[in-house]
Amino acid sequence: MTTNNVTRFLDLKRINYKAFELPAEKLGALETARLIGVEPGQVFKSIVVLRPKPGKHILAIVPGNSEVNLKLLASATGDKKLQLSTQAEAEKLTGLQTGGISPLALINRGFQIWLDSSACSFTEIHISGGQRGLNIRLSVDDLVLLTSACVASVSSPVPVE
């Protein structure tokens, strides 16, 4: 099994989780859900959102079959305007590759974490394990507790083509 800072942190905190090893290339949340056999709404992706004014950037954790709704997120955070980061900006700000950005790897790293409220319809959800090819299933309660995440409706379903 892959061991990294995220799994060591979870072990240290005695958090119950299950790690899933996946191909090391960048996979989307929908492909990850298919590979591990769960519904797409249970696999959450981490999206870096930028504030135009100085302050903590935001890590929005949203279901794989949804996208960040910047208006809902701005309303929840009290910001007038927010902007999605580019892949390059996300990697520079987090120090992680896209496809491997995890809220658990960014604790105390200057991000405000917002978890979409749809997570509350599950006991456990899947998130990135802090590197490409590693997915972690853990309880929603543990994720919120560990990351001090704010929970609100911050996503919209992706239109099906």
Q: What is the pLDDT of residues 17-49, one digit of tens each?
A: 999 999 888 888 889 999 999 999 999 999 999
Query: Could you give the CA distance from residue 158 to residue 66 in angstroms, rounded to a whole number?
Result: 5
pLDDT one-digit tens code per residue, 127-154: 999 999 999 999 999 999 999 999 999 9
Q: What is the pLDDT of residues 91-132, one digit of tens each?
A: 999 999 999 999 999 999 999 999 999 999 999 999 999 999
Whole-angstrom Cα distance, residue 138 to residue 61?
A: 14
Mean pLDDT of 58-78: 97
Task: List the chain domain ranges.
Answer: 5-155
pLDDT of residue 161: 62
Number of CB atoms found within 10 A of residue 7's CB: 19
Print burial letters for 132-157: b (CB count within 10 Å at least 16), e (below 16): bbbbbbbebebbbebbebebbebbee
CATH code, residues 5-155: 3.90.960.10
Res 82: pLDDT:
97
Q: Can you give the pTM of this predicted structure?
A: 0.95
